[in-house]
Amino acid sequence: MDIKLLESLRAGRLKSILFVVTFMLSLVPNMASKAPASTIYAVEGAKGNNGALNTLLELMDGDGLKFYKSRYNGLMQGPSGLIDRDDVVMVKVNSQWDECGMTNTDLVKALVAAMLAHPDGFRGEVVIADNGQAQYGSSGRGGSFDYPVNNAEDRRQSMKRVADSFGGAGRVSTYLWDTITENEVEEYSEGDDKDGYVVAKAADPLTGVLPSYPKFKTTHGTRISFNRGVWDPVRKAYEGGRLKVLNTPVLKSHFIFGVTGAIKHYMGVPSDKLTSAKGYRTHPTVGKGGMGTLMAETRVPTLNIIDAIHVNCKPGTGPMTPFDSATYAGVIAASTDPVAIDYWASKNILCKLGKEVYDADVSLFDPDNKTVGCFGDWLRLAAAELNNAGHTFTYDEKRIAVKVAVKAS
């Protein structure tokens, strides 16, 4: 790539992102043949700002999964819906890396707009959040919500700009947990009102993870415990059901763990620094299924939305993903099952693109590769942790249904 052009891209002076490769996948619908089944909803031809999210929500609706919780039945709404009008919704994003190492901000903006458009009138709150662990990342100091170059059609559109763009139209904010990742605190119910991280007393004997999670007050004054829910300081009680987590990772290669998807993305929830100080560093436990333990013991996502618009499909190279290392795949996908969506996305997006674009050995992406320490191995360990906690998540293709829609450009 021309050096001056690359400098312009990084400086944010051009409004369209240049990618080396465009590869349109042809996704295959599938009927599950065994129960209980998990369903993947996928949209081809997606960009973050071309209405693909609405196509995705309508695809879910056609299968009975309503995005909006409402006493009224209608398009995308009903009593069994996911997001109620007064919920506090946490949009968990990738923010440790800039460019295509981060979640597409156009997609995040569309998701926030969808919540604010709740048919009953949204009275809740949206918080865009992540922990870049105050280490590594594009700056060497962890995550940021204010990168100069971002994964979006207009690269100047950071997560902060997304939140700010809604102005007085809704209660939308960001919270970068890097700022509190070294503060150990107790729960609100213990009389501790400080922002920080609650750390478990003991590590899990199987996966070795010492669970930890953020507890903080938003810009709008709402007190949130990632584990317990929304804290009411007047009643001195938690409203666990009001807190919803939308897990929105960018799909990409990871040089240690093979794949970053819905489950690996939860490494942006705990405090690696506090657990390291206690002799139980969190990051290495990913390879032992530790993120499954963390989900099970803190909070399982309400919905997982995979950003596979621009992906790093070269095995062993992520999580850093410069623009010129990304392939346009044009897919967004959702599921309530983080195991199933990781299995499906790695096999049907990363494996296929890795072969087609790079003619690479994609065993690091292969969810059926059960070599100890590889993605397929730790995915199963994480699934076991979640299922032992009472969930019915799956990596069995016979139990995975796939619904596909195409977004016309």
Per-residue pLDDT tens digits of the chain, which is 409 residues long:
333 333 443 343 333 344 456 777 889 999 999 999 999 999 999 999 999 999 999 999 999 999 999 999 999 999 999 999 999 999 999 999 999 999 999 999 999 999 999 999 999 999 999 999 999 999 999 999 999 999 999 999 999 999 999 986 669 999 999 999 999 999 999 999 999 999 999 999 999 999 999 999 999 999 999 999 999 999 999 999 999 999 999 999 999 999 999 999 999 999 999 999 999 999 999 999 999 999 999 999 999 999 999 999 999 999 999 999 999 999 999 999 999 999 999 999 999 999 999 999 999 999 999 999 899 999 999 999 999 999 999 999 999 999 999 986 6
3-state secondary structure of 180: helix
Residue 208 near residue 288, CB atoms below 8 Å: yes
Amino acid, single-letter form, for residue 161: R
What value, to the nearest 5°, has the Cα angle with vertex 350 and ends 46 and 144?
70
Cα-only R_g, the chain? 20
* Cα–Cα dist 45/262, whole Å: 21
The residue to which tokens 């969808």 are assigned: 114
The pTM assigned to this predicted structure is: 0.94
Residue 281: CB atoms within 10 A of its CB come to 16
Residue 230 near residue 219, CB atoms below 8 Å: no
